Structure 1
Amino acid sequence: MTEFIANHQSQFLWSIAILVLVLILKIAFSAAARKVGKLGDFNPVRTNLIVKYISIVLTLTAFGALTLVWGVNYKDLGVLLSSIFAVIGVALFAQWSILSNITAGVIIFFSFPFKIGNTIRILDKELTGPEAKEFDTFKIEDIRAFHLHLRKHNGEILTYPNNMILQKGVVLVSTYKEESLLENNGDL
């Protein structure tokens, strides 16, 4: 065992350096995502989801760097990875909408101008149907990784995919703060 450690001392040092760097990056990126979440007044569940995505990406990056350090035979690794990616590719092609909704969920976290509690109008005639007014309004109940929960004025809950919310026009009707002010003024 001591002979193995002596022969691979530089690989061990590089491995430790990579793991420390990944840990530092995870802490820094997670803190940055939490700060963006706090400044944007986002739901903590959404912030935790983005932190989880960051952790997954950094883990995969560390795995790739460790394979470089330890000199894994790329021909053997290439065959293994191509087989795995072929199976995953077929599975993801069948589930492409799920992948696009996750990506849209990350985009919504960082750049979506609407928050939970806001009332919005989605400019989608297929959504409202012929019996509705020109466009219905919805209150945002929750923003998840795959979809938004929207409450109609009659109390129905609509689950709307994240990728669709990025493709359609969305009008901010009122914010949560405006609605609470209107309710409080109505009580006086």
Structure 2
Amino acid sequence: MRAPLTAYLPDWTHEWLDSIVLLGQVLFIILIALLLQRSLRRIILKAGEHYDLPRNLVRPAILFTRWTIVISASLLVLGRLGVSGTVLWTALTGFTAVAAVAFFAAWSVLSNLFCAILIFTARPLRLGDHVEILDTAEKPGARGEVVDINLLYITLEDSTAQQPGVLLQIPNSLIFQRVVRRWKGGPPRAIPHVHDAADPAAVE
């Protein structure tokens, strides 16, 4: 490939031809990485607007794609610069092993993040709903209005507290492990007990 190129280039460029070609390849990799990162960022932002996803879910997705592209482009550039493939493979496997250990160490946090994605997409509950998180269908549990949903937990304003403003923070993963009783549009109405309804004094 070099011989045809040298025939069309000045003599003073022959010594620098390999460096020029290498520089062009590196710049091409960087350009493709930038274009890919911007394209994926636009796709994620449009998907967030279309599905009405919160910003605290869209931003981590953008950061994840950005760093994935940066790491991949860096490995390609190092490969073009002559770094041994064995060294790159060793570094990649070491990084993967560390990431796997960190993944299992932070499993509870990651499970809440994954459940947050399910909550934002499947929408088992929304802001303003009144819910009750039950251990079983018979025992009472945490009850209140959903005032905030983030990547780690759901915040309820406790409706059973004697003083207003008491907040309960429920891990996102607990929503898919417990029975959830949900009321839309307002707090549930108090249902009179059977003996109260049968009492003539209560009727009067």
TM-score where L is the length of structure 2: 0.67
Higher relative contact order (CA 8 A, sep 6+): 1
**Alpha-carbon distance change, 75 to 115 in structure 1, aligned in 2, over 3 angstroms:** same
Of residues 64, 68, 80 in structure 2, which corresponds to 1:57?
64
Quick check: which one's helix share is greater?
Answer: 1
> What residue ranges of structure 1 are gaps of 5+ in the alignment?
180-188
Q: How far does the alpha carbon of each residue in 1:42-72 deviate from its partner, in whole angstroms, 9 at most, with x for none? A: 6xxxx21122122122113313541464362
2:181 maps to: 171
CA distance in 1, matches of 2:123, 2:140: 24
- Residue 119 of structure 1, CA deviation: 0.4
- One-letter amino acid of the structure 2 residue matched with residue 140 of structure 1: V
1:87 maps to: 98
Q: How far does the alpha carbon of each residue in 1:52-94 deviate from its partner, in whole angstroms, 9 at most, with x for none? A: 1221221133135414643624421222233233334333323
Of residues 135, 146, 154 in structure 2, which corresponds to 1:148?
154
Q: Which runs of 4+ in 1 moved over 6 A?
A: none
- Residue 96 of structure 1, CA deviation: 1.2
CA distance in 2, matches of 1:169, 1:125: 6
- One-letter amino acid of the structure 2 residue matched with residue 103 of structure 1: F
Paired residues of 2:33 and 2:70 also in contact (CA < 8 A): no
Of residues 168, 173, 187 in structure 2, which corresponds to 1:158?
168
1:13 maps to: 28
Superposed counterparts of 1:26-175, under 5 Å? 26-37=41-52, 47-67=54-74, 69-70=76-77, 72=79, 73-125=84-136, 134-135=140-141, 137-153=143-159, 154=161, 155=164, 156-175=166-185
Identity %: 24
Higher-Rg structure is: 2
**Alpha-carbon distance change, 69 to 86 in structure 1, aligned in 2, over 3 angstroms:** closer
How many residues in Structure 1 have an aligned counterpart in Structure 2? 163
**Alpha-carbon distance change, 55 to 158 in structure 1, aligned in 2, over 3 angstroms:** same
Paired residues of 2:158 and 2:167 also in contact (CA < 8 A): yes
- One-letter amino acid of the structure 2 residue matched with residue 157 of structure 1: L
